[in-house]
Structure 1
Amino acid sequence: MRSLLLVGTVVAFASTAYAAIAQSFVPPAASPESSSANYTGQTNGTISNGPVVQGKSFDRFIQIWIENTDFATAASSPVFQSLSKQGLLLDSFYALTHPSEPNYIAAVGGDFFGSADDDFYHIPQNISSVVDLLEAKNISWASYQENMPYDGFTGFNFTEKDYLTGNGTYTYYVRKHNGLIIFDSVTNVTDRALRVRNFNDFANDVKADVIPQWNFITPNLVNDGHDTTIDFVGDWLNFWLIPLLNETKFNNNRTIILLTFDENETYTINNRIYTLVLGGGVPEKLRGTTDSTFYTHYSALSSVEANWGLQSLGRGDTNATLNNVFEFVANATGWKNNGISGNSSSIPLLNITGTIPGPLNVQFYTPFTAPNTSAVGAGGQGVFAAQGLNTSLTAASLPAPANLTAQGQANPWGVDPGINYANGTKVIESPTASSTAPGGGGGGGKNAAIGARAGAEAALFVGLGIICGVAMVF
């Protein structure tokens, strides 16, 4: 496990052999395009997409996230070495913080809102995500989550039969690795929630040639390396990704595939992660080369915004230090990056966790505030403003952060709002206090009194119009 270190006022973590479990890879399905009982979730109808919206550099963007691996460890993998010859290595790509969940939130929402753990959270409906930007331009999207039990599942995790050993059960799916499902603006809208799909749907969608234009793909806890090793990940990539690279229904000459990690494993060093750009859309002259421009998870947002001329979220995606657009996309769109690269002293410390204020930080709690509506994004189209957005509530107008734990209060955004799609339609159950224990999902982790108080606080904050993301502090 990870042990806590206190260095001045910075909370960091030292990592040991957290992800190394001696297991042998077992293919979860006959092929990447095959349905499987190991995925649990039923195969639903194929996804429905509108006409392809042409981008300036690519027409399809696919993110695949692996877990908790230092740059040097990934670089030592023969599979990653082989893949790097086919694509573009981004060797100065950084995650934003620790642990996992805040990085997944930031990658789709432009901010991690102070989050410093992997607990159950939901983010209010008037906070925007990349989905709002994509839908404003009629760009199709989906998230595919391995071993998620059904489309739109909002639970904390899911435990099922252990297909690796055939004995007992295993928790293969976790909410913390599914960034979009944390946003109420996705889960509270049926058409959006059901675009967060399981891997049986993925197999069906590939065969039907309907993979959308923007995709976020998360393998399960063994295939992503969280509970295993980089060699296990390599076996999964050989089984799943490498065959798909030769499948034009997944990867055509206008497809970009970003293979990256959520964070590094060693918390005491800066958060550099091995990242590859693959796919037929990578310019031929760049294949087998290295780009040392400083990138972060926000770069995936800003690059998508630049490619399709989208609005921005007015958060980390417009932070001039952190939002460099992938250089080949910047060249195609006319965006100018900040010039930070390699081992520049201008690269901020991105391994800091626990001390950044925000609405998802119980120790340094602040309400949600408005994004920077005057920010300049890579798409050149201004900042997306959710309906009813109170743009006057800014970070500068907030009081000092509060320690809710010291006040005997729970985080109001840790209450499961009870949205359920088990039958393919939205059902609202009674909100419950969240759970961080293994089992089906939100509910039962805290006592009823705390849950009721947190729910009341959440309703109060929404009623006051306290909305949208906290400013980043570095």
Structure 2
Amino acid sequence: MAAALAVVASLVAPSFAASAQVFSPPSTSPYVESANYTGFSNGSLPVQHVTPGLLFDRFIQIWFENTDFAVANSTAEFRSLADRGVLMTRYYALTHPSQPNYVAALGGSFWGMADDAYYNIPANVSTMVDLLEQANISWASYQEHMPTDGYNEATYTSNNYIDPSAADYTYYWRKHNPTIIYDSVSNISSRAALHRNFNDFAVDVNASAIPQWVFVTPNIVNDAHDTTIDFAADFLNYWLEPLLADPRFNDNRTLILITFDENENYGINNQIFSVLLGGALPEELRGTVDTTYYTHYSSMSSIQANWGLGSLGRNDTNEMMANVWSFIADAVGYNNTFVADADIPLTNITGTIPGPLNSNSSFVTPWPAPNTSAVGAGGGPVFVSDDSEECE
């Protein structure tokens, strides 16, 4: 099956510039605003109604960059997290490079995208945001070093807080901020305003106002993109470890996903380190391993299953690619698809998947309509936007 899906476009990974920078915390703690971020917060989000889920009421996903599974799994801090959670050893990214993995985890497809160029995905393309808001589930995206709420430019360069004597540094990259890439989100001011930086995060957590669905992207050095896995581990010790002990962030109804956008070595399949932890994880599962086949689409199907949501009628309903995390599947009675090692698709490909955003004209296709007959893990209907969804 794997060989039939596509041909590997390149067996050599691009050169990621892991620098000799030494980790320096951008603030004194995750609870304190910092001048190292551009602009202080204008105030916290409101404390909102909680829509209960079956197994958890808050989901927080934190994404890191460009690291092979074995590398992360041999790093002390990431191993420590695995020892406190469920390590999913057959979790795969969807393609290369970074951006298509991010947008796929929000929209159920990367539409053939094969680069990190600036895209605006049309406003009639729905996302998880539509499903969340339809169910009255609060959400936000926290992007370290994003200068202002709702900022929609490709990058932002600011003071080099690690080495103030050096030139300014481009810490923020839009390509790692998936919801803002969709016009159905960024073109609506109330939704755009829910893209907040880490000064906003400090204010929100202090106000007990962290929403129910949260996407977190550290800056380009703290996520290991421009540095190393050890640098990212230092960030986790500084930022996440205190929060894990704080019920305003991680209470007994919170589930946290630590994952990576893609692996580093394009010459091997796209296995990534991914672990579930948090207060909502049953005690008997902590320190265990889950060998089910998962992809980034599983984060969509698992959320849909927990809250009984509808779906987008895309790969979030793909029975193989969107297996539901096992402890949720067991609780809701969802039957995951067994995938043998020999049948795991080759997702280390890039550029050869057809779609409307493929930069190669030979692979460009029209925008597909959602499959309105699809049945997702949440059991609800397929969401179709008021604009009749994608162009057919």
* 1:178-208 per-position Cα deviation (integer Å, ceiling 9, x unaligned): 0000000111000000001111100100000
State how 1:38-187 maps to structure 2 within 5 Å: 38-166=36-164, 167-187=166-186
Q: Which residue of structure 2 aligns with residue 348 of structure 1? A: 345
Q: Matched residues in 2 for 1:307 and 1:124: separation? A: 28
- Which gives a bigger RCO, structure 1 or 2 (Cα 8 Å, sep 6+)? 2
State how 1:282-301 maps to structure 2 within 5 Å: 282-301=281-300
- 2:37/2:147 contact within 8 Å kept: yes
Secondary structure of 2:316's counterpart equals: helix
Secondary structure of 1:14's counterpart equals: coil
- 2:8/2:348 contact within 8 Å kept: no
Q: Matched residues in 2 for 1:81 and 1:300: separation? A: 21
Secondary structure of 1:233's counterpart equals: helix
Picking from 10, 31, 34, the partner of 1:33 is 31
Secondary structure of 1:259's counterpart equals: strand
Q: Matched residues in 1 for 2:373 and 2:17: separation? A: 42
* 1:353-395 per-position Cα deviation (integer Å, ceiling 9, x unaligned): 10111111121212212011111100100200001316xxxxx
- 1:19/1:68 contact within 8 Å kept: no
Give the AA of the match of 2:379.
G
Q: Matched residues in 2 for 1:359 and 1:13: separation? A: 25
Q: Matched residues in 2 for 1:374 and 1:19: separation? A: 45
Q: Which residue of structure 2 aligns with residue 466 of structure 1? A: 391
Change (3 A) 1:9 1:255: closer
Secondary structure of 2:268's counterpart equals: coil
Give the AA of the match of 2:69.
F
Secondary structure of 1:386's counterpart equals: coil
- 1:141/1:195 contact within 8 Å kept: yes
Structure 1 residue 97, shift from structure 2 partner: 0.4
49-58 or 305-314: bigger deviation? 49-58
Q: Matched residues in 2 for 1:92 and 1:111: separation? A: 20
Give the AA of the match of 2:357.
L
Give the AA of the match of 1:466.
C
State how 1:146-295 maps to structure 2 within 5 Å: 146-166=144-164, 167-295=166-294
Secondary structure of 1:104's counterpart equals: helix
Secondary structure of 2:169's counterpart equals: strand
The answer to whether the aligner puts 1:308 opposite 2:307 as a matched pair is yes
Secondary structure of 1:46's counterpart equals: coil
- 1:50/1:139 contact within 8 Å kept: no
- 1:41/1:147 contact within 8 Å kept: no
Give the AA of the match of 1:197.
R
- 2:7/2:349 contact within 8 Å kept: no
Name which one, 1 or 2, has greater alpha-carbon Rg.
1
Q: Matched residues in 1 for 2:341 and 2:317: separation? A: 20
Q: Matched residues in 2 for 1:260 and 1:207: separation? A: 25
Structure 1 residue 76, shift from structure 2 partner: 1.2
Secondary structure of 1:232's counterpart equals: helix
Structure 1 residue 19, shift from structure 2 partner: 4.0
Percent identical: 58
Q: Matched residues in 2 for 1:306 and 1:35: separation? A: 36
Q: Matched residues in 2 for 1:109 and 1:378: separation? A: 15
Give the AA of the match of 2:262.
E
Q: Matched residues in 2 for 1:176 and 1:49: separation? A: 29
Secondary structure of 1:144's counterpart equals: strand
Q: Matched residues in 2 for 1:180 and 1:14: separation? A: 30
Q: Matched residues in 2 for 1:159 and 1:83: separation? A: 32
- 1:19/1:225 contact within 8 Å kept: no
Q: Matched residues in 1 for 2:141 and 2:94: separation? A: 21
- 1:41/1:148 contact within 8 Å kept: no
- 1:40/1:149 contact within 8 Å kept: yes
Secondary structure of 1:243's counterpart equals: helix
Structure 1 residue 44, shift from structure 2 partner: 2.0
Q: TM-score, normalised by structure 1?
A: 0.79
Structure 1 residue 13, shift from structure 2 partner: 4.4
Q: Matched residues in 2 for 1:280 and 1:12: separation? A: 41
Q: Matched residues in 2 for 1:138 and 1:336: separation? A: 27
Instruction: Give every structure 1 segment of 4 or more consecutive aligned residues whose post-TM-superposition deviation is greater than 4 Å.
Output: none
